Amino acid sequence: MSFGRRTAISEIGAVSKIYVRQRAFDYGEFDLIEAVDGFVDQMKQWLYRPEELPREAIYANAVHEFLCRGGSQYVRDTRWKPDRIAAVRAGLQAMGALDYLEYFEWLVAQVEALKSDIDRLFRHGGKWDAAIRGALNHRSRDLQGLQKARPIIPLIAGYLAKLPNLQPLDDQSFDMKMYELVESVPDYRARLEASMHDGHWVAQMVYLLCLKSGQRYHRHAGPPTLIDLADRTGAIGVMLTRGEHKIIQYPDRAELRDMSGNLVAAASLNETRLESRPLN
């Protein structure tokens, strides 16, 4: 399959705008935030790096994630990565949410005080005991009070709506832009190979099939010329829903077939690396 000439996006190695559907922009504050969260998640799934995305989208996504989880759950689920800490801090500052920032800085200090215990749990697993959870959740009522006094959703949405690089698009234009973006990932093949061992073996084999067949892996966007994977609630059996191909999965292997049933590529569970023909 030929994907044509790469666009200017690949030449600069970055996505300059935040693309959302017009209806998400029109419907309400939460819909806009969810659309931006979805845009960030989608770009990461397509192997764009955070530094290649608009920083404002990263800030809004990080702040929303923090406020949805808060305290010990946020620390545990995100593994307290420095880039996320910096994004939450910068995002709250950019939004003028200094009261929330004060709470976040308190949490940063709590994590630092418990650093040896938390690092050990990250390295070796184990139960987050009541003392650690209690220390990280000690001011949860303060956070709830902030949410009642000055809800964060209008702050995030207001920040996003004023961004000059926020680009609402009608459905057709949005799909075309997503097609352009998935085509324009810098160093796509190298990134795909590097990520191939991340996650569940089902995803690994899908990546492997894409490498073997010259397809590009993506989820839920673009014209039907690209693979569009729809995961059926984690069960064995993943179908391509947009036309040209389908993936059939078995306990120990997966096959990529065209819609006439012809085998395009196959991958076994035991495969770890491969030399496949270059992507066009």
Whether residue 200 lies inside any domain: the answer is yes
Look up residue 264 and give its two tokens: 């395009």
The tens digit of pLDDT for each residue in 40-95 reads 998 988 889 999 999 999 999 999 999 988 888 888 888 888 999 999 999 999 99
Instruction: Assign 259 a pLDDT band (cuts: 50, 70, 90).
Output: confident
Instruction: Assign 3 a pLDDT band (cuts: 50, 70, 90).
Output: very low
Res 117 pLDDT > 90: no
Verify that 30 and 126 share a domain, yes or no.
Answer: yes
């993943």: which residue's tokens? 238
Verify that 133 and 14 share a domain, yes or no.
Answer: yes
Edge-to-edge strand list for the sheet holding 253-258: 245-249, 253-258, 263-268
Verify that 121 and 154 share a domain, yes or no.
Answer: yes
Whether residue 182 lies inside any domain: the answer is no
Whether residue 181 lies inside any domain: the answer is no
Verify that 36 and 132 share a domain, yes or no.
Answer: yes
Say what the pLDDT of residue 175 is.
85
Domain of 198 in residue numbering reads as 188-268
Verify that 145 and 204 share a domain, yes or no.
Answer: no
Whether residue 25 lies inside any domain: the answer is yes
Instruction: Assign 196 a pLDDT band (cuts: 50, 70, 90).
Output: low
Question: How far is residue 182's CA from residue 17's CA, in Å, rounded to a whole number?
Answer: 14
Res 29 pLDDT > 90: yes
Verify that 163 and 222 share a domain, yes or no.
Answer: no
Say what the pLDDT of residue 190 is.
82
Verify that 196 and 160 share a domain, yes or no.
Answer: no
Inter-CA distances, 132 with 42, 93, 247, Å: 33, 28, 44
The tens digit of pLDDT for each residue in 96-105 reads 999 999 999 9
The tens digit of pLDDT for each residue in 227-257 reads 444 443 333 333 333 446 777 777 677 788 8
Say what the pLDDT of residue 62 is.
96
Across residues 223-229, what is the average pLDDT? Answer: 43
Verify that 145 and 71 share a domain, yes or no.
Answer: yes
* Alpha helices (H) along 150-217: 152-161, 171-183, 188-195, 201-213
pTM over 0.75: no
Verify that 67 and 147 share a domain, yes or no.
Answer: yes
Say what the pLDDT of residue 102 is.
94
In terms of Cα–Cα distance, which of 112, 61, 110, 108 is closest to 87? 61
Across residues 157-169, what is the average pLDDT? Answer: 95
Question: How far is residue 268's CA from residue 249's CA, in Å, rounded to a whole number?
Answer: 10
